[in-house]
A = this chain, B = another copy of it.
Amino acid sequence: MSPEKSPEPAARSLFSLQRRERLMEQLRAHGSVTVRGLAAELGVSELTIRRDVNILADAGLVSRVHGGATLPSPLDRSASLSRHQANRYAIGMVVPSLDYYWPQVISGARAEAEDQQARIVVRGSSYDAADNRRQVQALLDTQNIDGLIVAPDMRGEAGHELLRWLNALPIPVILAERRSPADIPAHRLEWVATDHAFGAGMAIRHLWQEGHRKIGCLTDSSSPTSSHVVRGWRQAIAALRIPEEESVSEDSARVPAGERTAHFDRVLEMCRDTGTSAMLVHSDTQAVAFVQHCVDRGVDVPGSMAVVGYDDEVAYLAEPAISAVRPPKQYVGRVAVQLVTARLAEGRKRPVHRIQLNPDLIVRESSLGSPRAAADAGLASTT
């Protein structure tokens, strides 16, 4: 049966076709793959991956290079690339990061673009409206772009101005993992986003079903996802009649990097005071850090503290492996490209689409089993 499509090593063998699909996903996400890295990741021999690369190169889908493969390159003169089709559209993508979360969005976008004879031009940016605008402008100035997929910083007046500017561009603009606020006149903008509130709710219900009756939330409000996660957590604990005023909900945004240890100690102390036995932690990197901190303090995960992460980027790497809410990043990219190309093909008669996608919950060791008694020594104060 098909394993989870995470970077996590494959637990079961894949059919060869599925392995090549995974190879293509990694390639689209990162621009290149290594034979050695992929063999380790997929649990097969380097020879097998090398054979796959050869098959894909023969099909014109990759450029074979020493040690691995890259996305098809115009510099690659092998005969197979003569299959390279003319591109109907050029779609620009400006994403906040090229190494966390967004590579899979890009991978999905590239896969869909391939299906639709479009090409994707990616620029990395940041969580800053001015930088976002600079990158979009640079794309528009230097390439013949037919449509845009962006994940703009929408905070403050600079963010609002950016949205109005994007709305006024003469080409289709799709927001990925962003929703245009109702009170900003940006009615042409279409978007596709994960329903993070639903994802948070799913995590809380899972922890409830594992027996936890006090479930907290640890987020980082510098991330645009954060407010949705908190909203979902709130709605879910309300539905379960867990009093919010007795629940731990902390924001790490203003904690200086050097004070994270103290911050986590305060969080653990609040957990002890309130009897909280489970935490939803956004994002994965913070979940990994939090779990490591618990282990350092002798707090057993999941015995004394169950943890669910968010994003499912690195949760599987922790010890114990951390459960996580997994947004459908590949599909976000795919659907964004579908929105661009449909808009280009159909024009104004097509109604503006706004699409929410539901995430999955990936259950691992960090949240299995019911909580031990609250008096358990593992939740004692730090010394």
Q: What residues make up the interface of A, taking CB atoms closer than 8 Å to B?
A: 1-2, 5, 15-18, 20-21, 24, 30-33, 37, 59, 61, 63, 65-68, 70, 73-77, 111, 114-115, 182-183, 187, 195, 198, 201-202, 235, 239, 328, 331, 335, 349-360
CB A10 to nearest CB in B, in angstroms, measures 12
Q: If the complex has contacts A351-B360, A353-B355, are A15 and B32 also in contact, measured as CB distance less than 8 A?
A: yes
Residues of chain B with a CB closer than 8 A to A356's CB: 353-355
A-B contact pairs, 14 of them (CB 8 A): A1-B30, A1-B31, A15-B66, A18-B31, A18-B73, A21-B73, A24-B75, A182-B198, A328-B351, A351-B358, A351-B360, A352-B357, A353-B357, A354-B355
Name the B residues within 8 Å of A24 (CB-CB): 75
Chain B residues within an 8 Å CB radius of A73: 17-18, 21
Which of A73, A111, A351, A352 has the most CB atoms of chain B within a 10 A radius of its CB? A351
**Residues of B contacting A33 with CB < 8 Å?**
1
Tell me if B351 and A17 are in contact (CB < 8 A): no
- Of the listed residues A66, A182, A235, the one surrounded by the most CB atoms of chain B closer than 10 A to its CB is A182
**Contact: A182 with B2, CB < 8 Å?**
no
Give every chain B residue within 8 A of A30 (Cβ-Cβ): 1-2
Q: When chains A and B are docked, how far (Å) is the Cα of A296 from the Cα of B115?
A: 59
For A111, the closest partner residue in chain B by CB is B74
Considering the complex, give the chain B residue whose CB is closest to the CB of A329: B351
- Residue in chain B with minimal CB distance to A328: B351
A2, B74: Cβ atoms closer than 8 Å: no
Please give the distance in Å from A381's CB to the nearest CB on chain B. Answer: 38
Q: A2-B349, A16-B66, A18-B31 are in contact. List 17 more A-B contacts (CB 8 A).
A: A1-B37, A15-B65, A15-B67, A15-B70, A16-B65, A17-B65, A18-B65, A24-B75, A74-B111, A187-B358, A328-B351, A351-B357, A351-B359, A351-B360, A352-B358, A353-B355, A355-B355
A18–B187 alpha-carbon span in the complex (Å): 27
CB–CB B18/A32 < 8 A: yes
Separation of A365 and B33 alpha carbons in the complex (Å): 27
Taking CB atoms, residues of chain B closer than 8 Å to A114 are 74
